Structure 1
């Protein structure tokens, strides 16, 4: 009797394709990103909703290029930079990236601690911050990449909570559609600060490095040699595009929630994620407030390993250390020690009294100012036949890439102009 192998369902096949792209997109909506989106909604209402529509193709194009670079070269983006470009350029990128990533980690830890304290007031914020840092440190060091990747993929579900909230409150959907498809621009420092902060939060340089390295990690975990062909690149695009869609949907719904609730109630300033949750409670009820708060914890647990990991991979690839989340601590001591240090330095911000909102503002603006340089380099790598062979960028990817470069550059120049005006 002939046995027929059951073909996997389309849904199962689709879910099987999701990996680095999904995690990268989801981790982009970390507590610091949520604070930025909440401030955009509180300060400008629904006026920045159109940015979610704008940033999706731009994010997808750049992250897709980074993923392709990782697949084709079997190397992280840092190694490619080191091997084919000047060392000073690499060191400048590292110099700008490290403070921003460390402050981002610190702001996320503080955000998680503040939200957890809000749910359980009996326990101080500092105790929660230490506990979350210890848990993350243990998971990253103890478990191999495959298990961490599975945990991160499940944590992506926490982002779906933010898509529920807007439907729990009354909305003017005609106004929502109008602000989504018709851009509103205010020519002042405050508006351009929030635009650069949103662009810097969504199109973040650390995600470029993480995306390329995770594609390499995924290939290393495969039991067979992966030949980069149209099918492999198509699967990668599905993964990346799914992650970017999720990321931008979450951004859209957070701005929609805070823009329709906080702005209309006269609340114009949101400095931290716990402030956003607290402000929502009396206006929309306990359930909305809890959903918002729990989402922050899930996104923090998802994003911080990505932030710390990307920074450590960048260091390891620069200085030739053994690296990999699949390796045990004795096999890659320097790599794991750098992760521990970044988490501890991030944690120390809470005890040094550094304001989370100032850290976030510095981080987002730094990302916004350095991203154009990195995007230009990624475009050059993506079109370099010596590096990419037959898998150089398509015309469509290049068009989106250059539009991204132009928009990020204009936004950064506008911000500098308004800051010094």
Structure 2
């Protein structure tokens, strides 16, 4: 049992990061439009986030310091500020989407509009961040998020034509309607959702929270190579369910009720209850991660006292910054903006910020002053450079594709 909980950080990061509201919505949208035609993007995203999360966690375990602290020191305040600005703004937008996701999940459960649930979501996230121990937070949110495995169960219950799904995954997709570049717009969005910047900042800061050291590198690797592939499997299952049920009926996903329709069709009310719990846990876990990541990045850059291992009074600016971020996110949602639209925008802009997030991590992971004999080897560097090129291409293409395709319409 102790070994199971040792990978809870990776499970929380994967469920709340790899399968947050961005992945839930984007995978369902992609499945309802392209079937499994973009499964290759999810696979690339799994490998990419594993490569960079492993580096981020290794930096934290070996140096005993969070990635953002080391980035500022290693690259200097100017480069660190550019990294902070891009990552923080994307993180704030993602936090807004996650709060909206909690409200939508509660709407599914209670049948009452999401507007009244936004204050509830804000208060719940704040009280957990304020009062709950890090270990309890990650264990409860991560394990409840495993209810999303119901998508995998639902896929088997739907008895799909596996050959058709495989064909969709390996053959080039020819869309009969919509903008011809929409396929590539959603490819970039799916990649941005898989490699959202806050994932690595939360993961490295969580390693410091848990007191990891060099002797915990095996735990770090277990977190990465169990947690994120698990998130990838759930993402593929969500897309496959949408492909089986929604694609033949030309139903495009614009709400969570459409997202869970395949699960309800496959398993009835019991399966629906499980998926609602899973979505609520995933979005709540992601809201916790993005809230904490906002505080982590600001505190680590400016040298404030930070961490849930400290009492709030000992890290007042860290906690105050998180409260402000929650209020800003809630204020944006209070304008009546559609949380699903915020989610779609956040994953695309995440792709834009990726180079500023991941290039500094690669630099630090190759610095023997911080890493000693745990610096990247040739294989790690080769993989990291390949993915850095992919990240750069996605970042350059994101905004033009957003404009040209009208958000994939």
CA RMSD of aligned residues (A): 2.4
Residue 84 of structure 1, aligned match among 50, 69, 74? 74
Query: 2:124 matched to which residue of 1?
Result: 135
Question: How much does 1:420 deviate?
Answer: 6.0
1:356 and 1:246 map into 2 onto residues whose CA distance is: 26
Q: TM-score, normalised by structure 1?
A: 0.88
Matches within 5 A, 1:147-162: 147-162=136-151
2:83 and 2:62 map into 1 onto residues whose CA distance is: 22
Query: 2:183 matched to which residue of 1?
Result: 191
Does structure 2 conserve the Cα–Cα contact (< 8 Å) formed by 1:41 and 1:263?
A: yes
Query: 1:245 matched to which residue of 2?
Result: 229
Aligned residue for 1:264, secondary structure, equals coil
Residue 309 of structure 1, aligned match among 287, 292, 299? 292
Is 1:166 equivalent to 2:158 in the alignment? no
Where does structure 2 lack aligned partners over 5 or more consecutive residues? 405-409
1:235 and 1:195 map into 2 onto residues whose CA distance is: 32
Question: Alpha carbons of 1:279 and 1:349: their partners in 2 closer, same or farther (altered >3 Å)?
Answer: farther
Query: 2:105 matched to which residue of 1?
Result: 115
Query: 2:352 matched to which residue of 1?
Result: 369
Is 1:53 equivalent to 2:43 in the alignment? yes
Residue 388 of structure 1, aligned match among 349, 360, 371? 371
Question: How much does 1:144 deviate?
Answer: 2.2
Query: 1:75 matched to which residue of 2?
Result: 65
Question: How much does 1:402 deviate?
Answer: 1.6
Does structure 2 conserve the Cα–Cα contact (< 8 Å) formed by 1:105 and 1:308?
A: yes
Q: TM-score, normalised by structure 2?
A: 0.90
Aligned residue for 1:263, secondary structure, equals coil
Does structure 2 conserve the Cα–Cα contact (< 8 Å) formed by 1:113 and 1:125?
A: yes
Larger Rg: 1
Query: 1:407 matched to which residue of 2?
Result: 390
Does structure 1 conserve the Cα–Cα contact (< 8 Å) formed by 2:31 and 2:240?
A: yes
Does structure 2 conserve the Cα–Cα contact (< 8 Å) formed by 1:69 and 1:382?
A: yes
Question: Alpha carbons of 1:280 and 1:71: their partners in 2 closer, same or farther (altered >3 Å)?
Answer: closer
Aligned length: 400
Aligned residue for 1:101, secondary structure, equals helix
Which stretch has the larger CA shift, 236-245 or 393-402? 393-402
Question: How much does 1:21 deviate?
Answer: 2.3
Where does structure 1 lack aligned partners over 5 or more consecutive residues? 1-11, 221-225
Question: Alpha carbons of 1:241 and 1:124: their partners in 2 closer, same or farther (altered >3 Å)?
Answer: same
1:389 and 1:197 map into 2 onto residues whose CA distance is: 36
Does structure 2 conserve the Cα–Cα contact (< 8 Å) formed by 1:25 and 1:244?
A: yes
Query: 1:9 matched to which residue of 2?
Result: none
2:6 and 2:108 map into 1 onto residues whose CA distance is: 38
Deviating above 6 A after TM superposition, structure 1's stretches of 4 or more consecutive aligned residues are none
Question: How much does 1:289 deviate?
Answer: 4.1
Question: Alpha carbons of 1:114 and 1:234: their partners in 2 closer, same or farther (altered >3 Å)?
Answer: closer
Query: 1:339 matched to which residue of 2?
Result: 322
Is 1:34 equivalent to 2:24 in the alignment? yes
Does structure 1 conserve the Cα–Cα contact (< 8 Å) formed by 2:68 and 2:201?
A: yes
